[in-house]
Copies of this chain bind each other. A is one copy, B any other.
Amino acid sequence: MIDPLEPVDVRMRGFARRTTVEDALRWLDGKTERLDEQIVPLAEAAGRVLAREMVSRVDVPPFDRSMMDGFAVCAADTLGASPYNRLVLQVVGESLPGRPFYGRVCSGQAVRITTGSLLPVGADAVLPVELVEIAVGDASHSRMFTQGEVSPGRHVGRIGEDVEAGTTVLPADRVLRPQDVGLLASIGVTDVPLVRRPLVRVVVTGNELLPAGSPPRPYRIADSNGPMLSALVKRDCGVIVEVDIVPDEPGTMLEAMRSEADLVLVSGGSSVGQEDHAPAVLVEHGELPIHGIAMRPSSPTGIGRLDGRLVFLLPGNPVSCLCAYDFFAGRAIRALGGRSKDWPYRRTTLPLARKIVSAVGRLDYMRVRLVEGLVEPLAIAGASILSSTTRADGFVLVPANSEGYPPGAEVEVYLYDIIS
């Protein structure tokens, strides 16, 4: 219900002191300490963030091993061998995976060996099978001929040559690469201390909204911010606890903001109208130091805290919602998860096809297309036009102290598609 007894420009009054983007980020960055650690099976660790540095307790490889199929030998015994000067060696055993040769290889002796097997004591090189001949008719295979030389250490993987015990193999805060997971497997790690992923609750308000996928009803529209925010949170490696569509009513808002989560996103009802209860609830039960930001779109954004958790009041208009998420909420989710605060967007610098005009005193988020190597601002750029962000290739920022850019100016474009 509208109460027109509360007149004259409530909105303009409420946002008389708009916070700059820089100040909002400064406040926010002071409130986003990395979450605690949790132990996760190695198989689920790729792409996640290491909570502590990892030190190997073992050598890799754990023993001197053969890198080839062939014969473990004393390299000196092969000196001078060639196809024209074959040298004979006595085969005294074999070394297989898990069934090594425990004896000593003396000068003049050789031990059959397969890739990955223990190099016996006394041997210092592996003679590849290609350099070897066995005397025809020697049923016992007890003698072999080398027709080539090997130098000491040849085809031998030395104990600890990949990783020495005691080495820090990966630093804290590392986003684990596929090969990091392989390395951890090779040093025997099965469970990994990772930074916990932030739990995010999405609260969508708006009496006109129907949950995505519900049967159509006259003069109601499907919620698009819930699905979009869920995808954004997932991109930033947060975990969605729940997406709730709730009436914008103080008790319900408070309950939703207090339910399990590390961080709450409220979509819609973020402004200073009579129907916007979320800001009042935050002011009463928590804090709302930032409400109204000098940017377009997204100026009716609020950032506060309740019971120690961050609460983001995101405008209901979908472009504003996307922009406010990306500027503030996504940054906080990445920081809580131990990740870089930087945007995940790729950047490219190209000349403008047409001028961009912007008001001094606010930051502008302009959707653009790339057309034949030029940056083309999208004509339709209303905060309610979600399709402007699906037709755009990315966006350009115009800082608060700029009136815009002339045609031909080189501008930095943030590309929406993370990977080409």
A213 to B101, CA, bound (A): 26
Q: Does A186 contact B98, Cβ atoms closer than 8 Å?
A: no
The answer, among B70, B183, B190, B207, for a CB contact under 8 Å with A97, is B207
Query: In the assembled complex, which residues on chain B have CB atoms less than 8 Å from the CB atom of A60?
Result: 221, 386-387
Contact code string A160-193 (vs B, CB < 8 Å = 1, else 0): 0111000001100001111111111110101000
Query: In the assembled complex, which residues on chain B have CB atoms less than 8 Å from the CB atom of A218?
Result: 98, 100
Chain B binder among A29-37, A229-237, A357-365: A229-237
The answer, among B112, B221, B322, for a CB contact under 8 Å with A116, is B221
A257 to B52, CA, bound (A): 39
Query: In the assembled complex, which residues on chain B have CB atoms less than 8 Å from the CB atom of A385?
Result: 161-162
The answer, among B141, B234, B322, for a CB contact under 8 Å with A4, is B141
Least CB distance from A259 to B in Å reads 20
The reply to whether the CB of A225 lies closer than 8 angstroms to some CB of chain B is yes
The reply to whether the CB of A283 lies closer than 8 angstroms to some CB of chain B is no
Q: Does A98 contact B208, Cβ atoms closer than 8 Å?
A: yes
Q: A96-B207, A162-B386 are in contact. Are A223 and B185 (CB under 8 A)?
A: yes
Least CB distance from A7 to B in Å reads 5
The reply to whether the CB of A261 lies closer than 8 angstroms to some CB of chain B is no
Q: Does A186 contact B224, Cβ atoms closer than 8 Å?
A: yes
A10 to B131, CA, bound (A): 10
Q: A98-B220, A216-B188 are in contact. Are A157 and B384 (CB under 8 A)?
A: yes
Least CB distance from A415 to B in Å reads 11
Q: Does B177 contact A4, Cβ atoms closer than 8 Å?
A: no
Q: Does A61 contact B221, Cβ atoms closer than 8 Å?
A: yes
Q: A97-B207, A98-B218, A162-B385 are in contact. Are A179 and B130 (CB under 8 A)?
A: no
Name the interface residues of A183-228: CB closer than 8 Å to any CB of B.
183-186, 188, 190, 206-209, 212-213, 216-228
A97 nearest CB neighbor, chain B only? B208
A169 to B387, CA, bound (A): 8
A129 to B3, CA, bound (A): 9
The answer, among B117, B133, B274, for a CB contact under 8 Å with A129, is B274
The 3 closest A-B pairs by CB, nearest first: A182-B228, A116-B208, A46-B231
A selection of 11 A-B contacts at a CB cut-off of 8 Å is: A4-B129, A4-B134, A4-B141, A7-B129, A10-B129, A60-B387, A65-B208, A129-B273, A161-B384, A182-B225, A185-B223
Q: Which A residues form the contact surface with B (CB < 8 A)? A: 2, 4-12, 42-43, 46-47, 60-63, 65, 67, 69-70, 94, 96-100, 112, 114-118, 128-134, 141, 144, 147, 157, 161-163, 169-170, 175-186, 188, 190, 206-209, 212-213, 216-232, 234-235, 273-275, 316, 318, 322, 340, 342, 344, 346, 382, 384-387, 389-390, 416-420
